[in-house]
Amino acid sequence: ALAADDYLKLFEPCWEPGQPVPYSFLANAFETMAGTSGRIDLTRQLACVLFHVLNRTPVDLLPTIYLVINRLAPAHEGLEIGVGDALLLQALADATGRSLSKLREDYHRTGDLGDVAVHSRTTQRTMFAVPRLTIRNVYNELLAIARASGKAMQEEKRRRIQKLLVAAKNNEAKFIARALQGRLRIRLAEKTVILALAAAFVQNAAASRGTHPDAARVERAAHLLRTSSNECPSWNMITEALLELQDIDERLLERCHLTPGLPVMPMLAKPSRSIAEVLTRFEGMRFTCEYKYDGERAQIHGLADGSIRIYSRNAEDHTRKYPDVMEQILQAVGSSSDQPSFILDSEVVAFDRDAQRILPFQYIQQRARKHVSLDDLKTNVLIVAFDILYWRGEPLTRKPLAERRAILRDAFQEVPGGFRFATRRDVSDLDGIQKFMEEAVRDSCEGLMVKALEGPLSTYEPANRTQHWLKLKKDYLRTIGDTLDLVPIGAYYGRGKRTGWFGSFLLACYNPETEQFEAVTRVGTGFSEEQMAQLHSEYAQYVLDSPRPYVACSESVKPDIWLDPRQVWEVQCADLSISPAYVAACGYIAPDKGISVRFPRLLRIRSDKRPEDATTSAQLAEMYRNQFRSTESSSESSSSA
Ligand code: ATP
């Protein structure tokens, strides 16, 4: 679908080559994309946009990519694009001359600030004709808004937003308002962007040679682009390399690969429901079991200048949260005179040094996120290293786990109470795994991680959830295999002891295909009274008059009040069932029916996950199906675990 060049006619370029790309070109394309449902059509539309920008004004390619993915910089820089509704409404009132109350009314009615912005005609007179917006100045303004700091920050943001909205023509205001809210609502998943960009480059290279691209070339280019963006998650570096190379080939991997200081999205595991299932999945393969520690994931980077950086599961910079980890890692890497560069994958757990015991996850969670000083620490932490991705200038992700593990053990040394290697055992029979699981639980772990050890499937796959890392959690062997990460989107008033508070919450999973939060269950257990009171006051600021437009819920389970989808709650459940009332994963298993969760119970709040990291509709459907897979010896294998 992307090889023939007919898609290049979908949007006609409206500027001279070399000139800045007008923002209207992108806004018009967004408008069409917002009304497109098919993934192939969306990809063709985006490929067309990217091709024309690349072909005519390549310097605008990077800001175009950022505006399309609605981000401003690589994740670890922590630049958030979103501004609050109140500020946006105020800026809109200033830009249009409309009253705040009228704007609020429209917003409540339509549920979309983008639509409100576009229908609020500018009445403000400007002394001079305002120049048309271009892609690069919209991007630069958004960047300045995100970076604004200091006492006058709110005022500066408001002024800049107002300026953008005054200059916006036609539908431009819609996508500026939506970008500022942090949601474009055009369903452009990362994989679509990668495929479209690959197609644009292949097309451009073919055009300059006077040839036609073929589908296999586009696929190959997309694969290379995906690999390098997983290993080097910086569109700045990738775009710079692509523009220099003018094509996508193996040279891209040489230019954009794993780099200390640039966090990669970690490899993730699939849930597993029984030891028998593990044995089936790894049949004919060498695999290994490791303790599954219950703490916080930490990707620890050692830079060539000797400095250390610590990144969370979401590539957030946690270096200042863990000054103690920094000290311990320096001891563990030894006192060699040179400064080896490295990237470690590890779990940081709270640790009682007197009792030599791992403490529950909550101890870690209590720690402040930033500016933690060594003198204020209340809990000791232990780094448990389980993988190494980079050592002394060499990326290791494509080496088998057995080899990476040998390098890890050679390069680092254990520090009592500070740094250790994940406890592992290369067992391969049911009894052996079961015994190891019992030991893991006794040693305060959540269960086991089972990983392919040798062969092409034992490489480290950044950002991927694969079958070659399985998690086997002690409590879920006989149920759905895992807990769920769900987002509160509404609440019901309480009765009895909970009168005056919320009694239960409506939770949703996330569907990245539609960019919607889909109602999945109602949870009222697992909360202490104290926690209920705390949630009640904390959530007061997130109460909405109407649901966000990206929330899906049927009338029959409508909550008493709607909440802004902000947090992720880890929920345990008995099983999954088909439900006519809940819309989660609707159509995945049964037409017109969703999936719901039975007997949900709140386990904890996952502050290390964003709402978009919640369990997806596709994962829910997969777990639903797995419930019915035959697991011959599952009950036998789990009974004593
Ligand atoms: P997911 O990462 O699958 O979205 P999650 O963050 O909720 O889910 P779990 O499902 O509990 O985490 O399991 C995966 C996590 O287990 C890893 O992200 C890592 O933080 C942790 N972990 C603990 N021990 C290990 C280990 N030995 N190997 C890999 N990961 C481990």
Residue 506: pLDDT band by 50, 70, 90 thresholds?
very high
How many angstroms separate the alpha carbon of residue 548 from the centre of ligand 1? 31
Is the CB of 290 inside a 6 Å radius of any atom of ligand 1?
A: yes
How many angstroms separate the alpha carbon of residue 268 from the centre of ligand 1? 7
Which atom, in ligand 1's list, is nearest to the CA of 266? 18
Give percent of the chain with pLDDT exceeding 70. Answer: 95
- Write the Ramachandran bin of 111: left for phi over 0, alpha for psi from -120 to 50, otherwise beta: left
The answer to whether ipTM exceeds 0.85 is: yes
Q: pLDDT value at position 121?
A: 66
- Write the Ramachandran bin of 274: left for phi over 0, alpha for psi from -120 to 50, otherwise beta: beta
Is the CB of 449 inside a 6 Å radius of any atom of ligand 1?
A: yes
How many angstroms separate the alpha carbon of residue 297 from the centre of ligand 1? 7
Is the CB of 269 inside a 6 Å radius of any atom of ligand 1?
A: yes
Instruction: Decide if 379 contacts 364 (C-beta within 8 A).
Output: yes
How many angstroms separate the alpha carbon of residue 398 from the centre of ligand 1? 21
Please tell me the pTM assigned to this model: 0.87
Q: pLDDT value at position 53?
A: 98
List the residue whose alpha carbon is closest to atom 5 of ligand 1.
Answer: 268
Residue 128: pLDDT band by 50, 70, 90 thresholds?
low
Is the CB of 174 inside a 6 Å radius of any atom of ligand 1?
A: no
List the residue whose alpha carbon is closest to atom 20 of ligand 1.
Answer: 297
Q: Which of 137-151, 209-223, 528-542 has the lowest mean pLDDT?
A: 528-542
Is the CB of 345 inside a 6 Å radius of any atom of ligand 1?
A: no
Q: pLDDT value at position 337?
A: 63
Q: pLDDT value at position 630?
A: 54
Mean pLDDT of 366-384: 81
Reference 358, options 384, 332, 337, 376; nearest CA is 384
Whether residue 481 has pLDDT greater than 80: no
Q: pLDDT value at position 626?
A: 86
How many angstroms separate the alpha carbon of residue 45 from the centre of ligand 1? 37
Any idea which residues carry the catalytic annotation?
Answer: 292
List the residue whose alpha carbon is closest to atom 4 of ligand 1.
Answer: 268
Instruction: Decide if 620 contacts 508 (C-beta within 8 A).
Output: no
Q: pLDDT value at position 607?
A: 86
List the residue whose alpha carbon is closest to atom 1 of ligand 1.
Answer: 268
Contacts for 186 with CB less than 8 Å, ≥ 6 apart: 30, 33, 34, 42
How many angstroms separate the alpha carbon of residue 181 from the centre of ligand 1? 31
Q: Which of 1-15, 345-359, 445-459 has the lowest mean pLDDT?
A: 1-15
Cβ burial of 405 (10 Å; 0-12, 13-18, 19+) is: buried
pLDDT digits over 554-601, tens only? 999 999 999 999 999 999 998 899 999 999 999 999 999 999 998 899
Q: Please, how many CA atoms are within 13 Å of residue 433, restricted to the half-sphere of its CB? A: 28
Parallel, antiparallel, or unpaired for β 516-523 and 551-552?
parallel
Residue 126: pLDDT band by 50, 70, 90 thresholds?
low
Mean pLDDT of 317-337: 87
Residue 300: pLDDT band by 50, 70, 90 thresholds?
very high
Q: Which three-class secondary structure string do you get for 504-555?
A: EEEEEEEECCCCEEEEEEEECCCCCHHHHHHHHHHHHHHEECCCCCCEECCH
pLDDT digits over 421-456, tens only? 999 999 989 899 999 999 999 999 999 999 999 999
Mean pLDDT, all residues of the chain: 90
Is the CB of 451 inside a 6 Å radius of any atom of ligand 1?
A: no
Name the more confident of 487 and 376: 487
Which atom, in ligand 1's list, is nearest to the CA of 313? 18
Q: Tell me the best of 347, 458, 476 to mutate to test the pocket of ligand 1, counting ligand atoms within 8 Å of each CB and taking the most.
A: 347
Whether residue 4 has pLDDT greater than 70: no
Is the CB of 361 inside a 6 Å radius of any atom of ligand 1?
A: no
Cα torsion 552, 563, 581, 188 to 10°: value is: 20
Q: Tell me the best of 293, 476, 568 to mutate to test the pocket of ligand 1, counting ligand atoms within 8 Å of each CB and taking the most.
A: 293
Q: pLDDT value at position 406?
A: 97
Q: Which helix (H) or strand (E) covers residue 326, if one does?
A: helix 323-332
Is the CB of 106 inside a 6 Å radius of any atom of ligand 1?
A: no
Residue 178 vs residues 81, 82, 88, 182, 427: alpha-carbon distances, Å: 10, 9, 10, 6, 52
Is the CB of 448 inside a 6 Å radius of any atom of ligand 1?
A: no
Is the CB of 178 inside a 6 Å radius of any atom of ligand 1?
A: no
Residue 367: pLDDT band by 50, 70, 90 thresholds?
confident
Q: Tell me the best of 267, 299, 449 to mutate to test the pocket of ligand 1, counting ligand atoms within 8 Å of each CB and taking the most.
A: 449
pLDDT digits over 58-82, tens only? 999 999 999 999 999 999 998 988 7
How many angstroms separate the alpha carbon of residue 269 from the centre of ligand 1? 7
Is the CB of 470 inside a 6 Å radius of any atom of ligand 1?
A: no
pLDDT digits over 310-324, tens only? 999 999 999 999 999
Strands (E), 409-454: 419-421, 424-425, 447-452
